[in-house]
Structure 1
Amino acid sequence: MFGYLEGKLVGLSPMQTYLDVHGVGYELQITLHTYDVIKGKETCRLYTHLQIREDAWVLYGFATEKERSAFQKLLSVSGVGAATSRILLSSLSAEELHAIVWNGDSKALEKVKGIGAKTAQRIILELKGKLPQETYAEFNTAPHNTDEIDALNALLGLGIGKTLAESAVKKAKEQAGDKEITVEEWIKSALKNL
C-alpha cells in the first residue's frame, strides 16, 4: 500500500516513531537498527510494511529497503510473526541475517532472545531458498557502482548463473569504459555478452 513515507520526525523511541507527512501523523513500529540510523535527524524516509490484523492496522518502518525485505521474508516463515521478526532485525542487521542463513548458522540465531533451536532451524531452512546468495562482494568496493550491482542482481533474478552473470557484467563494464550508463544499458549490454 505504501512503499515509503518521508516526513518530519515528531516523536521517536527505540521501538516506534511518529512521522508527520504533510500534516498527517503516521505511527510506525521500528527496529533498533532503524532507530540508530534516524535518531538525531529532523526528517527521514522510512520504507514501510503494512500488516492488517483483525484488531489493528500496524505500519512498520525501516531505514533501508534491504531491512524491509528481510522483515517481509521473515514473516513468510511459519511460526515467525512481526514481533519475532522485529527482535531479529533489532539484534542483527539484514546483512548479518543474510550471512547467517546462507552459512546455515542456527547457533547464531539462537543467541537472539526468544529464538529457540527449532525456530532457528526453520528460519534457515525456509529462507535459504528465498534469499539470493550474495554475489556482488567484489563489486562492492567502489561507492559509485550501484548500477553495476543492480544489473548483476537483475541477471541473477532472470535465472542466469552467478559466474556467467558476473562475466557478462564485467564485459559490459569494459565496453562502457569511462562512459556512465544506466542500469537498463548495463543489463542490455550484459545480455549481449552472454
Structure 2
Amino acid sequence: MIAHLSGKLVEKNPTDLVVECNGVGYFLNISLHTFSQIPDQENIFIYTYLQVREDAQTLFGFADKLERSLFKKLISVSGIGASTARTMLSSLSPDQVMSAIHSENVEEIKSVKGIGAKTAQRVIIDLKDKISDLGEADVNKILTPQRNTHKEEALSALETLGYTRKQSEKVVKKILSNNPEATVEAIIKLSLKNL
C-alpha cells in the first residue's frame, strides 16, 4: 500500500490534488479539511490511503495521520463508503466527527449528505469505543486562511461531491449574498450543510 507521498504539488483543488513524485503524477481525492491544511507551496508531504476495488483503484490524501485513521474507521462501518466518508470529513472537521461520535450526537452526523438516522446511529455504535485510540487532535491548530476565489471553484467541488449544478448554484448564490468575502472552503462547507 502507498502510505504517503512526498513531492511537487502540481495541482490543488477543493476535492483533489496532483502530486508529482519522480516524474509520476498521483491524483489524490481529498476532503475540504485536507484542502485547508495543505500549504500552497511547491514541495509537500501527504499521507495516503489506497482503496482497491474490483472496478477501481482510488488514492485518497490526508493532511495528517489522524484524519487518515478516522477515514479508515469510517469506511469500516456498514453503509459508509469512501465517498460518504470524504463528504463527512468535508462537512465536519475530524475533531467534530470524533466529538459527535463520543457524545453520541446523531443529529450532527445526520447533517452530512447521504447519512440517515440509522447510519448515524451505526457510526456511533461501531466507532464509539474505537476512536479513543486515535487520541485527541490538536484543537488549537490554527488553520491558514485560504484566498478568495470564484464561486465556480466551489460549484465544481460540489459537483464532484455528487450535487447537481442547478441545486448547488441556488445555495452558493445565497451564501455569497450574505457573505461576499467567503473563502472557497467556507462556501463549500456552508453549502454542504444547506443541500
Match of 1:117 in 2: 117
> What amino acid does structure 2 have at the position aligned with 1:87?
T
Larger Rg: 1
Bigger CA drift: 62-71 or 128-137? Answer: 128-137
CA distance in 1, matches of 2:27, 2:134: 33
Percent identity at matched positions?
46
Q: Which has the higher contact order (CA 8 A, sep 6+)?
A: 2
**Is the 8 Å Cα contact of residues 88 and 112 (structure 1) preserved in structure 2?**
yes
CA shift at 1:79, angstroms?
1.0
> What amino acid does structure 2 have at the position aligned with 1:113?
K
Bigger CA drift: 128-137 or 109-118? Answer: 128-137
**Is the 8 Å Cα contact of residues 69 and 134 (structure 2) preserved in structure 1?**
no
Q: Secondary structure at the match of 2:130?
A: coil
CA shift at 1:41, angstroms?
2.3
Aligned length: 141
For structure 2, the 5+ residue unaligned runs are: 142-195
Match of 1:22 in 2: 22
Match of 1:42 in 2: 42
CA distance in 1, matches of 2:139, 2:93: 19
**Is the 8 Å Cα contact of residues 102 and 133 (structure 1) preserved in structure 2?**
no
**Is the 8 Å Cα contact of residues 12 and 39 (structure 1) preserved in structure 2?**
no
> What amino acid does structure 2 have at the position aligned with 1:70?
L
Bigger CA drift: 73-82 or 34-43? Answer: 34-43
Q: Secondary structure at the match of 1:95?
A: helix
**Is the 8 Å Cα contact of residues 7 and 43 (structure 1) preserved in structure 2?**
yes
Q: 1:85-164 alignment to 2 at 5 Å?
A: 85-132=85-132
Q: 1:2-17 alignment to 2 at 5 Å?
A: 2-17=2-17
**Structure 2 vs 1, CA of residues 101 and 133 (structure 1 numbering), >3 Å: closer, same or farther?**
farther
| Alignment root-mean-square deviation, CA | 2.3
CA distance in 1, matches of 2:123, 2:139: 30
**Is the 8 Å Cα contact of residues 77 and 126 (structure 1) preserved in structure 2?**
yes
CA distance in 2, matches of 1:16, 1:53: 19
TM-score (norm 2): 0.67
CA shift at 1:65, angstroms?
0.4
TM-score (norm 1): 0.67
CA distance in 2, matches of 1:109, 1:55: 29
**Is the 8 Å Cα contact of residues 31 and 86 (structure 1) preserved in structure 2?**
yes
> What amino acid does structure 2 have at the position aligned with 1:60?
F
Note the alpha carbon deviations across 1:8-58, whole angstroms, 9 max, x for none: 111111111110012111111100111111152222111110000111110
CA distance in 1, matches of 2:131, 2:95: 11
Q: Secondary structure at the match of 2:73?
A: helix
CA distance in 2, matches of 1:97, 1:141: 13
**Structure 2 vs 1, CA of residues 115 and 2 (structure 1 numbering), >3 Å: closer, same or farther?**
same
> What amino acid does structure 2 have at the position aligned with 1:100?
A
For structure 1, the 5+ residue unaligned runs are: 144-194
**Is the 8 Å Cα contact of residues 34 and 63 (structure 1) preserved in structure 2?**
yes
Q: Secondary structure at the match of 1:115?
A: coil
